[in-house]
Amino acid sequence: MENSATKKYLDILRNQYNGCSDYRIAQLLQVSKACVSRWSNGKVGLGDESAARLADLCGLDPVEVITELHLEKAKSRATRLYYEEVLKRTSTALVVVLPAFFFFLAPMVTGYATL
């Protein structure tokens, strides 16, 4: 089983933590080293709980990470279309929400004006 999304997110985590080892990834994600090895070798994909932890550690949207992993595993066309729609909606929401956050809410949180 080829899990390019799993490998992609493991690479992001490795880069975030300066090229860390499988052992360190196992510690960070609270799984066994053997589990990380299976992910790295493409034998299995990340589960939802590990994907959510990875997203949190890397500052990524867990919904997007988990959805992309499910999209890759989807067997039917209908299921793939469903996860593609979820990804599209998630991306659209981020495009709308993040600028609004930085413009309107950041000054309240940080005490600094955005202009």
Query: Does 109 have pLDDT greater than 60?
Result: no
CA distance 105 to 33: 41
Average pLDDT of every residue of the chain: 83
pLDDT of 1 reads 47
Count Cα neighbours of 36 within 13 Å in the Cβ-side half-sphere.
20
Overall average pLDDT of the 25-49 stretch: 94
**pTM of this prediction?**
0.73
The dihedral formed by the CA atoms of 98, 102, 103 and 109, expressed in degrees to the nearest 10: 130
